[in-house]
């Protein structure tokens, strides 16, 4: 049984499925809550985008709780995932096909751990071209998809933890704790460069955002199904 005052404000935790956009989750939640309340509209928003190919914690706020979104977004995030060494893609993940291959025979385990250490702390990071960063009022990915060149300024981010959890060349599993605005895809690019090779991200999962954990999250379809059933039961 779901019991929330959605209009007064609710903070909902979802485990975003692979292939869904963050706005897919928001849209389903909004439509289901709107029918449950019997209203034409209600404010619903998320506190931090996850790429379609990523899974994990997505915080969704309803009603007056949407005023807390900026505060929720400002917290640190934890991710787990996999980098693949020896190749790159234009998007630094699996959204685009491999466009170049790079040597890996020279890479030792010691180099991998040293590269992670070199990218830990306060660093300057350039967001990916395939990202929602605005340049002259236009999203960077709009330039990229139109094959237009765009210069994106580097910005300061904090990587407080960059832990290597599995090394099985060319795959490297990791756990990263980072500040708001960090692009893990960009970290893959920089990780490959630090190893005098290339790298892209093949998997990503957000496990924590601030004090919220994915272990407490639910599948959005489960939430929608339960709330629909409660709506039907109430109308009987």
**Mean pLDDT for each consecutive 10-residue tract of the chain (236 residues)?**
87 97 96 93 95 96 97 97 97 94 98 98 89 65 65 90 98 97 96 98 98 98 93 72
Three-class DSSP labels, 122-138: EEEECCCCCCCCEECCE
DSSP letter, residue 17: P
pLDDT of residue 143: 62
Grouping H, G, I as helix, E, B as strand and the rest as coil, residue 172 is strand
User: Residues with catalytic annotation?
Assistant: 51
CATH class, range 77-209: alpha beta
- 59 bridge partner residues: 13
pTM score: 0.92
Q: Cα–Cα distance between 181 and 202 in angstroms, integer? A: 20
Q: Please name the helix (run of DSSP H) or strand (run of DSSP E) that holds residue 108, with its range, or none.
A: none
Residue 172, both tokens: 């490297």
Assigned CATH class of 10-74+212-235: alpha beta
> What does the pLDDT read at residue 127?
87
> What pLDDT score was predicted for residue 211?
97
pLDDT at 69: 97
Tokens for 100, please give them.
């170049």
Contact 192, 198 (CB under 8 A): yes
Q: What is the pLDDT of residue 144?
A: 59
Q: What share of the chain is helix, strand, coil (3-state, %, to 5)?
A: 30, 30, 35
Question: Can you give the pLDDT at residue 136?
Answer: 61
User: 24: closest CA among 208, 224, 197?
Assistant: 224
Cα separation, 150 vs 196, whole angstroms: 25
- pLDDT value for 150: 66
Q: Would you list the domain boundaries of the chain?
A: 10-74+212-235, 77-209
- 10-74+212-235 matches 77-209 in fold: no
- Give φ, ψ of 2 to 5 degrees: -100, 125
* Radius of gyration for the alpha carbons in the chain, expressed in angstroms and rounded: 20
């Amino acid at each position: 049984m779901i019991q929330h005052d959605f209009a007064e404000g609710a903070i909902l935790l979802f485990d975003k499925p692979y292939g869904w956009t963050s706005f897919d989750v928001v849209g389903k939640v909004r439509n289901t809550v709107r029918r449950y309340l019997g209203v034409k509209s209600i404010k619903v928003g998320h506190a931090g985008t996850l790429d379609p190919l990523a899974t994990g914690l997505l915080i969704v706020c309803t009603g007056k709780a949407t005023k807390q979104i900026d505060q929720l977004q400002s917290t640190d995030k934890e991710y787990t995932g996999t980098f693949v060494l020896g190749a790159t893609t234009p998007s630094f993940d699996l959204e685009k096909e491999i466009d170049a291959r790079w040597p890996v025979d020279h890479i030792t385990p010691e180099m991998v751990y040293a590269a992670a250490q070199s990218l830990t702390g306060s660093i300057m990071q350039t967001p990916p071209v395939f990202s929602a960063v605005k340049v002259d009022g236009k999203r960077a990915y709009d330039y990229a998809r139109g094959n237009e060149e765009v210069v994106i300024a580097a910005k300061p981010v904090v990587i407080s933890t960059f832990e290597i959890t599995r090394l099985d060349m060319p795959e490297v599993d990791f756990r990263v704790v980072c500040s708001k605005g960090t692009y893990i895809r960009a970290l893959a690019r920089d990780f490959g460069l630090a190893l005098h090779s290339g790298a892209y991200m093949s998997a990503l999962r957000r496990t924590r955002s601030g004090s919220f954990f994915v272990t407490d999250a639910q599948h959005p379809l489960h939430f929608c199904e339960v709330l629909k059933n409660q709506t039907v039961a109430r109308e009987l």
